[in-house]
């Protein structure tokens, strides 16, 4: 699939409703980052901007990237409504399959980095890991299984990875990286039909050691 086709898919997805996501930051990001000293952060697949705004409100300098111009336009408006200054978040509309991050970053976050269309996920995450600064962290959060609102066959060809599988794909040097969190965590959510549901997330947090 071409970059143009991927962009069209995601713009169409965001055009389905005025807001797709809740506007709240991902719980796993909050738990991972709330005790960290603010620095530079990279938000991969930033969507409508909730994670980027949460980080900026806590003093982080954020680069937030998404392929959907529709999502990023909403994210900018959301940030402005929360009083975020323009220089606190750099918004980037790019296809992550070809975009190169300019590090170093103290935190790289990829929350629910799933795609129903062709996308070189492992390659993108490897590139992002390489941009993590010594002493920094890489957070990957994914669904442990298809979400309750998914139709029966929409994820037939999707890999829902465990932390061990995430790490195997990343091929990180264990002399440099330390696994800080590897778990499946449950949380309560509201599905698009407004019914409550329990969601199981795979949390993988790795810490890059200091420079030799």
pTM (predicted TM-score)? 0.89
> In angstroms, what CA-CA distances link 134 with 194, 208, 212?
43, 5, 9
Domain of 165: which CATH number?
3.40.50.150
- pLDDT tens digit sequence for 127-182: 999 999 999 999 999 988 877 766 544 555 567 899 999 999 999 999 999 999 99
Predicted pLDDT of residue 151: 59
What total of structural domains would you count in the chain? 1
Integer-rounded Cα radius of gyration of the chain: 16
Residue 4: per-residue pLDDT: 85
Taking CA atoms, 186 is separated from 2, 13, 100, 191, in Å, by 35, 26, 33, 15
Residues 91 and 72: beta-carbon distance below 8 Å: yes
DSSP-assigned letter for residue 85:
-
Cα–Cα distance measured from residue 70 to residue 143, given in angstroms and rounded to the nearest whole number? 24
Which of 143, 207, 198 lies closest to 175, judged by CA? 207
Looking up tokens 């309560």 gives 188
pLDDT of residue 28: 93
pLDDT score recorded for residue 158: 67
Note the pLDDT of residue 63: 98
Give the residues of the chain that fall short of pLDDT 70.
149-158, 190-194, 212
Residues 6+ apart with CB under 8 A from 13: 20, 68
Q: What's the pLDDT score for residue 19?
A: 84
Return the pLDDT at 106.
Answer: 98
Whole domain around residue 53: which residue ranges? 3-208
What interhelical angle do 69-81 and 50-57 show, nearest 10?
30
């Amino acid at each position: 699939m071409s970059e143009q086709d991927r962009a069209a898919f995601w713009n169409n997805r965001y055009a389905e409703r005025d807001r797709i996501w809740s506007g709240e930051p991902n719980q796993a990001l909050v738990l991972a980052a709330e005790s960290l000293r603010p620095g530079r952060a990279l938000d991969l697949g930033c969507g409508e901007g909730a994670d980027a705004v949460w980080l900026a409100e806590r003093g982080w300098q954020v680069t937030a990237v998404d392929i959907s111009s529709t999502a990023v336009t909403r994210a900018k408006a959301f940030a402005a409504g929360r009083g975020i200054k323009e220089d606190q978040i750099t918004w980037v509309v790019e296809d992550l399959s070809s975009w190169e991050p300019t590090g170093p970053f103290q935190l790289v976050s990829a929350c629910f980095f799933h795609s129903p269309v062709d996308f070189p996920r492992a390659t993108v995450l490897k590139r992002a890991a390489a941009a993590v600064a010594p002493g920094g962290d890489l957070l990957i959060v994914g669904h442990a299984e298809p979400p309750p609102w998914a139709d029966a066959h929409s994820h037939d060809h999707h890999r829902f990875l465990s932390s061990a599988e995430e790490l195997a794909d990343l091929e990180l040097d264990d002399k440099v990286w330390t696994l800080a969190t590897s778990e499946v965590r449950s949380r309560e959510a509201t599905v698009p039909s407004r019914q409550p549901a329990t969601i199981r997330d795979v949390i993988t947090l790795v810490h890059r050691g200091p420079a030799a």
